């Protein structure tokens, strides 16, 4: 297929030689967050990159479907569900590219506005169900410097019920994703809670590309990053002099974390399993190419540092 034919099939536009900008899976038709590059050397004949941090497997399957290609089947050469350490070299190369900031589409702005409304409707979390979740279920203190400015509580947070497709209202701990470039709130992390304060589920809303839940707002020459807010809070609690720390929300976001101007050292809070190790490896390679230092810290017990903290509290 020609770039023009692919663009027509995806509802996008040709944006460069063999390159198409199109709506990502589940995005509005005016969205241009998905980049598709035609490449005959790739197993599927194309490469994908989401500027909205949509999972690359979902994007690849979405493009295959829109182009009329057969569905993935277990055991074929297009198995996109293999462990990260088995990802083909062309996928690695795509992850190592720092694409920089991108213009925001109308769909981006709508999603950002919705995320900001949820944040603005939330309240100071101390003494709420969100505080109970952190203290009782994650053994985390809620420092004053995070309460209200980084974390809030929304008693009636919008939440899509996957069984009915309808939007319900649930109590949730809200974390603010702020842009790495201008500090604007572009997304929120929503941790839905049960009446007893335990976690029901977690989801993001908004634009998390080049954004983070900034537990500390002004890194100097070094920065610590991790996946979950709880992991980063646990690290700060265990080591108060840890330094500025940001939560990215997913292992994929660590893979894509850009080289930030002025920072000379990046320390990553790792988790058990191949996905975390591979993400750290990809991120570190990009930072080292830019002449920066990187390091990683792993918990000796449990899945992450928060697990280690909870086990330590349980053991007295």
Angle at 22 between CA 73 and CA 167, to 5 degrees: 80
Cα distance between residue 38 and residue 48, in whole Å: 9
The CA distances from residue 157 to 75, 153, 184, 191, 203, in Å, are: 41, 9, 21, 10, 11
Strands 211-214 and 167-179, by their bridges, are antiparallel
Over range 114-143, report the average pLDDT: 96
Question: How many domains in the chain?
Answer: 3
Q: Mark which of 207, 223, 239 sits at the end of a domain.
A: 207
* 308 and 217 within one domain: yes
* 140 and 50 within one domain: no
Phi and psi torsions of 180, nearest 5°: -65, -30
Out of 21-35, 50-64, 252-266, pick the least confident: 50-64
Phi and psi torsions of 24, nearest 5°: -75, 170
* 199 and 227 within one domain: no
Contact between residue 271 and residue 232 where contact means Cβ atoms under 8 Å apart:
no
List 48's β-bridge partners, or say none. Answer: 36
Strands 19-22 and 13-16, by their bridges, are antiparallel
* 174 and 135 within one domain: yes
List 34's β-bridge partners, or say none. Answer: 22, 50
- Residue 69's pLDDT is what? 78
- pTM, two decimal places: 0.72
Cα distance between residue 95 and residue 226, in whole Å: 18
- Residue 140's pLDDT is what? 96
Residue 125: pLDDT over 80? yes
- Residue 278's pLDDT is what? 85
Contact between residue 124 and residue 153 where contact means Cβ atoms under 8 Å apart:
yes
Over range 212-225, report the average pLDDT: 92
* 155 and 195 within one domain: yes
- Residue 99's pLDDT is what? 59
188 token code pair = 């929120």
Out of 75-89, 98-112, 226-240, pick the least confident: 75-89
Structural domain includes residue 99: no
Q: Which domain holds residue 261?
A: 210-316
Contact between residue 222 and residue 267 where contact means Cβ atoms under 8 Å apart:
yes
Cα distance between residue 31 and residue 105, in whole Å: 6
Helix ranges, 124-214 (H)? 129-132
Q: Mark which of 191, 207, 223 sits at the end of a domain.
A: 207
* 180 and 254 within one domain: no
Segment (H or E) for 152: strand 151-160
How many CB atoms are closer than 10 A to CB 264?
12
Over range 197-218, report the average pLDDT: 91
* 215 and 159 within one domain: no
Cα distance between residue 226 and residue 209, in whole Å: 15
Residue 33: pLDDT over 80? yes
As to burial, measured by CB atoms within 10 angstroms (0-12 exposed, 13-18 middle, 19+ buried), residue 277 is middle
The string over 104-140, giving b where at least 16 C-beta atoms fall within 10 Å of a residue's C-beta and e elsewhere, is bbebbeebbeebbebbeebebbbebbbbbbbeebbbb
Out of 104-108, 270-274, 303-307, pick the least confident: 104-108
Phi and psi torsions of 314, nearest 5°: -65, -30
**In terms of residues, how long is the chain?**
316
* 235 and 308 within one domain: yes
pLDDT band at residue 54 under the 50/70/90 scheme:
confident
């Amino acid at each position: 297929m020609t770039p023009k034919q692919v663009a027509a099939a995806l509802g996008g536009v040709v944006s460069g030689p063999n390159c198409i900008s199109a709506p990502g899976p589940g995005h509005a038709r005016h969205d241009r967050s998905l980049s598709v590059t035609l490449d005959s050397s790739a197993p599927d004949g194309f490469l994908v990159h989401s500027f909205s941090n949509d999972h690359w497997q979902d994007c690849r399957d979405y493009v295959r479907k829109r182009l009329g290609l057969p569905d993935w089947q277990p055991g074929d050469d297009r198995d996109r569900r293999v462990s990260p350490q088995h990802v083909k070299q062309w996928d690695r190369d795509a992850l190592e590219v720092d694409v920089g900031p991108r213009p925001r589409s109308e769909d981006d702005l709508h999603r950002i506005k919705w995320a900001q409304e949820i944040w603005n409707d939330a309240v100071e979390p101390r003494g709420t169900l969100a505080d109970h979740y952190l203290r009782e279920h994650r053994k985390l203190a809620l420092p004053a410097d995070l309460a209200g400015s980084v974390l809030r509580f929304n008693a009636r947070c919008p939440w899509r019920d996957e069984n009915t497709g309808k939007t319900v209202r649930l109590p949730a701990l809200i974390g603010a994703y702020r842009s790495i470039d201008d500090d604007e709130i572009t997304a929120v992390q929503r941790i839905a809670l049960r009446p007893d304060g335990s976690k029901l589920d977690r989801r993001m809303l908004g634009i998390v590309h080049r954004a983070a839940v900034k537990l500390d707002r002004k890194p100097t020459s070094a920065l610590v990053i991790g996946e979950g807010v709880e992991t980063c809070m646990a690290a700060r609690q265990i080591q108060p002099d840890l330094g500025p720390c940001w939560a990215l929300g997913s292992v994929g976001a660590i893979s894509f974390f850009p080289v930030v101007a002025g920072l000379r050292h990046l320390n990553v809070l790792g988790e058990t399993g191949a996905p975390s190790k591979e993400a750290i490896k990809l991120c570190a390679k990009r930072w080292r190419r830019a002449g920066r230092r990187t390091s990683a810290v792993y918990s000796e017990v449990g899945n992450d540092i928060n697990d280690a903290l909870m086990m330590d509290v349980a053991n007295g």
